[in-house]
Structure 1
């Protein structure tokens, strides 16, 4: 499985207990019901390795997971700090006007008055707010992902149109 054909859904934080369970941080962008998953991929040495789930207990943004063949705290420690992925093909299609964070990386951002601002380098979570991150004139610009700032998203052309208030780029 190629890492480019997958999307990040969480991170194995640390061992939980003595029987191989781990504590997992679930990304807020994860559309799937984590508790119903049968298997996931963990990133290990630039490769994705499949892990089959025996048991899951979800509590808010964390889950306690028991993987097959991870049977001790030592085994659990070996997979700690590994990123968890699922294939992009398993992700529900985003609705019109909505997007997953990884979908808009490298999209060109165009302001209605200033023209081309730059390309999205990441989508950052700041509390309850999502922000588009891009470089413009040598400085980092953070644009909130909500109206009235984003006016349209064209996924086929990889373009995001924004209407920024006067002076926004001078901050």
Structure 2
């Protein structure tokens, strides 16, 4: 049974900004300048909110603000808060793109297979996404989701391989990581 192409989230609509329907968005793409452009039409999740056509785009202080042709008031903007702008997976230029729900529950491990903990969240931060890993002792480590620290995500195996720098995981000593002060 085919469910059609996988949907990839480009952005998630945040709070209304101003009175004329402008909204903030959490960017979920590595190429927002290409994806978030006036005239682009997006399907939405849930699909009852769309399609939505980008009317204008601006950035300020690292935040992205969009206006959609279909949304003309603050009230209408409030109604679409939390809605995701999506594309078909086969349209994506992003090979390393995952949904949060695909990552949550994966076993976090070192390259040698040593278990670090479990992925419990993915946060979209201004500089890059951050994996939140719950370690066995309950500490929640925040690992920048960049190739250097997250070299491999294997959804089939249910694992994410981490090589975090010293100090991000609890209980580390310089000797354990091979680093010296």
TM-score by length of 1: 0.67
Deviations 1:46-98 (A, max 9, x none): xx52334466111121112230xx56x4xx41441622224463561632xx3
151 and 79 in structure 1: CA distance in 2 versus 1, 3 angstrom threshold: closer
Q: 1:99 aligns with which of 97, 100, 105?
A: 97
Q: CA RMSD in A?
A: 3.3
Partner-residue secondary structure (3-state), 1:128: coil
Q: 1:62 aligns with which of 47, 51, 65?
A: 65
More strand by share: 1
In structure 2, how many angstroms separate the alpha carbons of the residues matched to 1:111 and 1:53?
42
Give the corresponding residue for 1:131. 130
In structure 2, how many angstroms separate the alpha carbons of the residues matched to 1:88 and 1:118?
31
In structure 2, how many angstroms separate the alpha carbons of the residues matched to 1:165 and 1:114?
17
54 and 169 in structure 1: CA distance in 2 versus 1, 3 angstrom threshold: closer
In structure 2, how many angstroms separate the alpha carbons of the residues matched to 1:111 and 1:55?
42
Partner-residue secondary structure (3-state), 1:141: strand
Q: Within the alignment, does 1:161 sit opposite 2:127 as a pair?
A: no
Contact 2:41 2:54 in 1 (8 A): no
In structure 2, how many angstroms separate the alpha carbons of the residues matched to 1:145 and 1:65?
30
